[in-house]
Structure 1
Amino acid sequence: MVATAPQFPIRCRGILFDMDGTLIDTTVIVERYWEIWCKAHNINYSELIATSHGRTSRSIMEQWAPLDRRERYMTQEYLQELEKSVVEDTDGMIIIPGARELLEYLPSTKWAVVTSAGRSMAEGRFEQTGLKTPPILITSTEILRGKPDPLGYVTGAERLGLKPEDCVVFEDAPNGIRAGIAASAKAVIGMDTGTAPREQLVEAGANPIIKSFEDLDIKVLDDGWIEISQKTA
């Protein structure tokens, strides 16, 4: 399914952000953990990582964990321990350019974060980076149907008191882009931050695609609408 090509400026009532790869980039940390895990379990790391971005740890375990350990590895206790070990690692973590300024600017009634991370990991990352705490944070702890299922984005819009079609989604992963489109978001803007090849963002339906928030002018208008425009050179 391909998103309808938006015409700038894009006007919306709310913004739904993914977290990792969109606001914060911890790709090297996550990949480092999964490489260690794959070696310990004799699993092909390249195959696992090619399909893991934007998915919950639970769904990855469901697909890749050895059969004799799968049930234990999918328990909440094990997944929380997994996330704890990952969130303690900050080596290589960066903030996407323009993210800090944008979150400080937007009123708390205008945005939410929808992430495949668990709540403890998501809250930890915002604390570590000093980014503004999301007024609404939707995580895989509460939403068990992970992306590309649209439930997370539908829930985020509802928590803002809006319909998904009144919101713009920012996403870096193909599964997240598909989730935003399936939720009927007004636009799904792809973040070409290196999580996935640009062509995969296009194939998933992202339109437009940007490198960072510094590519855009985002303004809250007097009537409460948000206007998103592309910066001119």
Structure 2
Amino acid sequence: MVIIKEQPCCCYVKVNIPNGVYTLETSCGKNQGIMEPGYRCCYMNYKMIKVMITKNTIRFKCPITNVPTKDNVRVAIDVGINFHIGRGPETEEEDIKKFVYNFGPNRLEELLQEECDEGIRDFLKQIKVNRVRDIKTELTSALMNELKLKFAPYGVVIEQVNIMNVIIPRDLRICLTDTTNYDVFLQKQVKAQENKMLVINNNENKSVLRLKRDNMQ
């Protein structure tokens, strides 16, 4: 995600600034802004490429384990976060400086992990385990809004948050599956009984109509 270029003892004969990265330059220790892509000849040592940061989307995986639900069942959740550095051309230099000087990649990784962990635990402590797999959309939306607010001041743009997997203890998972299957079975039985009653009622109505016709004759 971030490349820090070492300073030469005298100068570089040639420096190539690639496309697809933000390249922050300093001269005699003073910030010179973002360099344009292309070749530089005889790049002197009083200048320095402070850092290179990719413009591409970065994918971060964040497994959260041992999360208690409302009924105190411990579950695990795998979260995936897509983000990039820099909000746009108008603010890219400001965003890159904020990220490099006030934040940095190591702190970003730590804070992403901490914020995901805290956000998911706060959300799931209000949800019972039998609903955990049904609230992925609500959890994703809540977590994404929190992360956007938290990281925007550092020039980090959260693009997408995905709940990739929800892991429930095996014995409880089997129990929930059996319960779901039993509920489906009951619903089918109720539906079948209702259909039988409709058939009986229809037959009775037909019999009544037939008797009325016979009496009228």
Query: TM-score, normalization: structure 1?
Result: 0.23
Query: TM-score, normalization: structure 2?
Result: 0.25
Return the structure number with greater strand share: 2
Higher-RCO chain (CA-CA 8 Å, sequence separation at least 6):
1
